[in-house]
């Protein structure tokens, strides 16, 4: 049962060894964690996150024809890559049965900050309930927001607030201990997009995401259609798990 929920609005705010023994959830709502969930739900064998572009290319060459290169820089598909960072691109036809070698500006770096955690998952709104079912059995939950280029982003904070609210709801009358950042994000979530029952209003959620930094960035490159996809709560029943030893993300 969850006893404590801590939110880290940026990976850089995590202290050394702070995540040791905990269950960490990396959140990069727009769009890495949403896209990785979509890839695994579409039947990808696994996703291999890479910090830089050249590393991704080297890994793809080592895998051979079964590799699919996916990712972005500045939100735009990298030259020579098969796919970008839109969840809509990751279909059964494009990634089913294949290994996705993936690099994004922020999401893959957030994973690197989770060393020491006993279990590392990737969370988004699309797999909120699926991830929370796993978290409900974990005593200490650490939600790690990816941010953008070292700055916190509201879209990740809202998603973290959704996780805190859902986990609290699952506990019923018992309230888990929250750090200050967890208290801030759940208050923002409830105030912005949730009604009295704690159920998100889809229109309010999409508008809040459109006004966030990530939403504005997507609009600037004409990819804001991904916002509605990322805002579709529980559209996927998949729990991505990152294994640091193999550097692979697979469905739990």
Q: How many helices (H) and strands (E) does the chain have?
A: 10, 11
The predicted model scores a pTM of: 0.94
Nearest to 29 by CA among 153, 142, 114: 153
Q: What mean pLDDT do residues 184-210 have?
A: 82
* pLDDT at residue 149 is higher than 80: yes
The residue ranges of every structural domain in the chain are 4-243
Which residue's structure tokens are 């879209």? 155
Helix (H) or strand (E) holding 76: strand 76-77
Q: Which fold has domain 4-243?
A: putative 2-phosphosulfolactate phosphatase (3.90.1560)
Give residue 198's pLDDT band: very low, low, confident or very high (50, 70, 90): very low
Radius of gyration of the chain (CA): 17
* pLDDT for res 172: 64
Round to whole Å and give the CA distance between 123 and 130.
9
Confidence of residue 173 (pLDDT cuts 50, 70, 90): low
Largest interatomic CA distance in the chain:
53
Nearest to 103 by CA among 48, 167, 151, 147: 48
Residues 6+ apart with CB under 8 A from 15: none
194: confidence class by pLDDT, cuts 50, 70, 90: low
C-alpha–C-alpha distance, residues 56 and 107, integer Å: 14
Strand order in the sheet with 67-73: 76-77, 67-73, 99-103, 46-49, 248-251, 240-243, 119-123, 23-27, 140-145, 4-8, 177-178
> How far apart are the C-alpha atoms of 118 and 137, rounded to whole Å?
13
- pLDDT score at 231: 96
Q: What pLDDT, on a 0 to 100 scale, did the predictor assign at position 11?
A: 94
Quote the tokens at residue 13. 């705010």
């Amino acid at each position: 049962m969850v006893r404590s929920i801590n939110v880290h609005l940026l990976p850089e705010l995590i202290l050394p060894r702070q995540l040791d023994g905990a269950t960490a959830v990396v959140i990069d709502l727009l769009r890495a964690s949403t896209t990785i969930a979509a890839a695994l739900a579409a039947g990808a064998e696994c996703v291999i996150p890479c910090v830089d572009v050249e590393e991704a290319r080297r890994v793809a060459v080592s895998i051979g024809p079964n590799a699919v290169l996916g990712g972005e820089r500045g939100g735009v598909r990298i030259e020579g890559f098969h796919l970008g960072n839109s969840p809509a691109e990751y279909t059964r036809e494009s990634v089913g049965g294949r290994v996705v070698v993936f690099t994004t500006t922020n999401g893959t770096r957030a994973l690197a900050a989770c060393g020491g955690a006993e279990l590392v998952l990737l969370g988004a709104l699309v797999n909120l309930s699926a991830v929370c079912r796993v978290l409900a059995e974990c005593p200490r939950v650490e939600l790690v927001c990816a941010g953008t280029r070292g700055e916190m982003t509201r879209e990740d904070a809202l998603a973290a607030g959704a996780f805190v609210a859902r986990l609290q709801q699952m506990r019923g009358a018992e309230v888990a201990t929250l750090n200050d950042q967890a208290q801030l994000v759940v208050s923002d979530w409830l105030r912005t997009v949730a009604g009295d029952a704690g159920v998100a209003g889809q229109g309010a959620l999409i508008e809040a995401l459109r006004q966030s930094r990530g939403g504005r960035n997507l609009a600037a490159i004409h990819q804001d259609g991904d916002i509605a996809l990322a805002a579709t709560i529980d559209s996927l029943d998949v729990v991505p798990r990152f294994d640091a030893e193999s550097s692979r993300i697979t469905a739990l």
